[in-house]
């Protein structure tokens, strides 16, 4: 039986097509991560087998439904490209973050070591590059630009804002690179290889960029607002580690004397359990959380407004639902 899609599809025919195509993506991904060395295959399959929402390949397939040839082989191939690129980045991210868990399972660096995790990420990046070459020169250019944005986003996150720079603006630029760029490319690939007109491809690319940023910022909100571990990590993990998130950055802008304690608490990593719990409680009650939610919902609305280039129907409705689910997700 097919795994459930990461968003509700009201049109039964469209849902059936997407399920069928996602099954094909899963089969193809399993084939693409096979190496001559059995150990490399095991390591490369580790995170893929741990699950994940597959937002990126699903968006490729959904965007392709706006074109005349949604079942074109290059659509499936590009769906694999974006997911392999995403998986590769997760292996590297876990090394940089010294993470022990990913998708509820031991991260590759925790299960093996950093060398294995880095090389596995490199292997997956190389496989995505091989597949991109089959898509043609334009796809190679797009993928190279996307990869540059991914890396620059990671660099921005690692270095932090420069002296005098706005930390919130820096965070939004980081998110646009690390997360928004690949989701934007996912939408572009689907539109392009399904043969949509240029204006539709451009609109869906911009739509994907906004949805991608909203996706990550929703994760920022979940770190504070989630009452359970449904989001895939312990609530307040970013807060504990001093990782900047949208609600925290908004709260830090406050000049209200009543917020002095909260601003003091979130100005550094919160390794003390009592201080961490206090900060989490204050943030959940602070207007910054509602402001962050409003910002993300507005991004989703901006993304949906770009869909005016599409005729009304199941595909446009599903893309609108995709933006809504990303903006209001609880996991």
pLDDT at position 235 is 76
Q: Give CA angle at 13 (49, 87), nearest 5°.
A: 20
How many beta carbons lie within 10 A of that of residue 163, not counting itself?
4
Closest CA to 129 of 88, 91, 93: 88
**How high is the pLDDT of residue 238?**
87
In a domain, 289, yes or no: yes
Domain closes at, from 111, 141, 159? 159
- Beta bridge partner(s), residue 105: 102
Q: Angle, nearest 10°, between helix axes 181-193 and 73-97? A: 170
- pLDDT score at 149: 96
User: Do both 148 and 202 map to the same domain?
Assistant: no
CB–CB of 312/304 below 8 Å?
no
Residues 31 and 77 in one domain: yes
Predicted pLDDT at 103: 47
Specify the pTM: 0.91
State the CATH number of the domain containing residue 231: 1.10.600.10
Q: Residue 1's pLDDT is what?
A: 44
Q: Which domain holds residue 216?
A: 197-330
d(CA 179, CA 160): 17
The answer to whether residues 124 and 24 belong to one domain is yes
Mean pLDDT by 10 residues, the chain (331 residues): 71 94 94 83 74 88 97 98 92 63 52 70 90 97 96 92 94 96 98 98 98 94 78 74 92 93 91 93 95 96 98 96 87 66
Domain boundary among 143, 159, 175: 159
Torsion of CA 10, 14, 15, 16, to 10 degrees: 140
Q: Is the same domain home to 91 and 229?
A: no
Residues 200 and 310: beta-carbon distance below 8 Å = yes
Residues 144 and 47 in one domain: yes
CB 326 within 8 A of CB 214: yes
Q: Of the candidates 110, 133, 159, which is a domain's last residue? A: 159
């Amino acid at each position: 039986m097919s795994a459930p899609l990461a968003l509700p599809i009201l049109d039964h025919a469209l849902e059936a097509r997407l399920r069928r195509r996602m099954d094909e993506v899963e089969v193809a991904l399993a084939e693409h991560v096979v190496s001559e060395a059995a150990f490399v295959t095991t390591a490369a399959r580790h995170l893929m087998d741990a699950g994940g929402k597959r937002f990126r390949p699903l968006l490729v397939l959904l965007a392709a439904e706006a074109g005349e040839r949604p079942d074109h082989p290059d659509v499936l191939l590009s769906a694999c490209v974006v997911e392999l690129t995403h998986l590769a980045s997760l292996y590297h991210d876990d090394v940089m973050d010294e993470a022990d868990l990913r998708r509820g399972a031991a991260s590759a660096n925790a299960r093996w070591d950093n060398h294995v995790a880095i090389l596995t990420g490199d292997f997956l990046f190389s496989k995505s590059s091989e597949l991109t070459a089959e898509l043609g020169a334009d796809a190679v250019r797009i993928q190279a630009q996307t990869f540059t944005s991914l890396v620059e986003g990671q660099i921005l996150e690692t270095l932090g804002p420069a002296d005098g720079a706005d930390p919130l603006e820096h965070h939004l630029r980081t998110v646009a690179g690390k997360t928004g760029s690949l989701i934007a490319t996912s939408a572009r690939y689907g539109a392009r290889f399904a043969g949509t007109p240029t204006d539709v491809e451009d609109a869906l690319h911009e739509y994907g960029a906004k949805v991608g940023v909203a996706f990550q910022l929703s994760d920022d909100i979940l770190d504070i607002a989630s009452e359970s571990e449904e989001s895939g990590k312990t609530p307040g993990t970013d807060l504990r580690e001093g990782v900047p998130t949208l609600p925290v950055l908004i709260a830090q802008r406050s000049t209200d004397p009543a917020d002095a304690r909260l601003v003091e608490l979130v100005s550094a990593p919160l390794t003390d359990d009592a201080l961490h719990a206090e900060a989490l409680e204050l943030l959940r009650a602070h207007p910054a959380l509602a402001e962050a939610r409003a910002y993300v919902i507005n991004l989703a609305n901006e993304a949906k407004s770009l869909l005016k280039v599409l005729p009304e129907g199941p595909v446009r409705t599903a893309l609108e639902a995709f933006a809504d689910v990303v903006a209001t997700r609880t996991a």
